[in-house]
Structure formats: structure tokens, C-alpha cells
Amino acid sequence: MNIRKKQLVLVSLALLLVACSSPTAKFILKKAGLVSTQTYYIPAAQFKTVQFNPPPAPDSDAQREDLAAILAWQNKRTEADCAKANVTANFTADTFLGENSLFPKPLPDEVRKFIDRVSSDLEDAVTNMKERYQRPRPYKAYPDQTQPCIKKSWGYSYPSGHSSFSRVFANVLADIVPERRDEFFKKADEIAQDRVIGGVHFPTDIAAGKVFGDLYHAELLKSEGYRKDIEKMKTFLLK
């Protein structure tokens, strides 16, 4: 397949993914060279080499514990559990709080642009981490044993993208409204755990996503541009 045809295939696939609004769609378009890879706060390249614990080895006790946890949830989860996991699987940073939004609706343009900037940098960073470890998802590593009850995700498993994103945005929102920190982190933990319940991530993927999310946020705080934008976001809060 020549380069032009490959690009057309990638674009066609991306257009099917939530009207090009999902992280997967954006990643596909970036790989095709059709979306900017501009850095706003943190260069993603550093996450190709940053020190970070790898996932459990395939034949390790930790891997067996991971599988056991997946199978335990598979045996006890309910239809309601799966329905909820389907809902949280589709979260975006600007809908993180649902009806308890910090900002007016529709979101002010400056707020949306800020979310897009953080998301764009973070998406590239998480992709670099996943590419480093290339851990298969549970249903690919154990196709005869695991049965996801939510939509299967594209890409590698470690660290979890949902866990990473929800953790980063819990931190970001806590930078804006510190007094609601516990609420933000509870929601992030819920989103992350639903990935295990749904059968698309191992528990260690989730744990790694939380560690990575905190690590990434620590880097965000070093960015003068980010700190200035946080102060600007405070001016858009609902009164």
C-alpha cells in the first residue's frame, strides 16, 4: 500500500471514531501527518525514556495476579457494572464532572482551548509510554479466558490511558479548585477501576496510570505557561 492510500485508510478509520473527537482518532490522524503535533506545555519525547517501572513479566506471579483479578471481576460483575463502565469509557476531560461542572455550559472558548492543549500534550506522552512497553490487553493476552463486557480499545495496555487522563485532570482541576480535590480524585479512581471491571485493562495498568498521571502533573507544574493558564481558568469558574 502506498503512502497516500495508507493515509486515506487511516483518515477513514479516524472519522468513524466519535466524529474524530476521541484520543484514538486524534492519534491516528497524527500518525498520518494530518494533525499538528505542536507542544504546548510538556514535550512528549521525554516520555520515551523517562524512568518508569515496566509491567509484570508475562510468566511472573504479578502477571498471574493480574489475570486472577480480571477473572474475578468477570465472574461477579453485573449488567449494571458493565453499563456504567461503558459510560465512563466515553468520558472526556470537559465532561469529567458531568452535571457538577466548574464552568458555564457551553464551555467558554478559552476553557475548551486549555483542555485541548493539556489533552494534546498528554495524549502524545501516554502514546510514547504505551509504545515503550507494548503490553497486550487482557483479551489479547488471554483470548480464551477473558471476555470484556465493554467496547474493546485500540492500542496497548500499559499504562492505562483512561487512568492516566483521569488522574491528570483530577490534578488539573484540583489546581483550579483545591477544596474539591477529594471529589476529583474519587471520580478519577472510579473511571480507572471501571476499565478493570469492563475487562480491558489489568489492575497494574491502572496503578501505573495513576503513577504516571502524578508524574506528568509534576512536570506540568514546572511549565510557566501552564501555571498562567491555571490562574486564567479560575476567572471562568461558576460563581
Task: Give the pLDDT of residue 101.
Answer: 82
Which of 158, 163, 168, 180 lies closest to 220 in space, CA to CA?
168
What cell does 125 get? 506522552
Task: Give the pLDDT of residue 21.
Answer: 40
Distance of CA 172 to the CA centre of its chain: 14
For cell 489475570, name the residue: 67
Task: Give the pLDDT of residue 27.
Answer: 52
Question: Which domains occur in the chain, in start order?
Answer: 1-35 (no CATH), 37-234 (1.20.144.10)
- Tens-level pLDDT at each residue, the chain (239 residues): 445 544 444 444 444 443 334 444 555 555 555 555 789 999 999 999 999 999 999 999 999 999 999 999 999 999 999 999 999 999 888 778 777 789 998 899 999 999 999 999 999 999 999 999 999 999 999 999 999 999 998 899 999 999 999 999 999 999 999 999 999 999 999 999 999 999 999 999 999 999 999 999 999 999 999 999 999 999 999 98
Neighbours of 224 (CB within 10 A): 8
> In angstroms, rounded to a whole number, what is the distance separating the alpha carbons of residues 105 and 123?
25
> In angstroms, rounded to a whole number, what is the distance separating the alpha carbons of residues 91 and 98?
9
* pTM of the entire predicted model: 0.85
Task: Give the pLDDT of residue 31.
Answer: 53
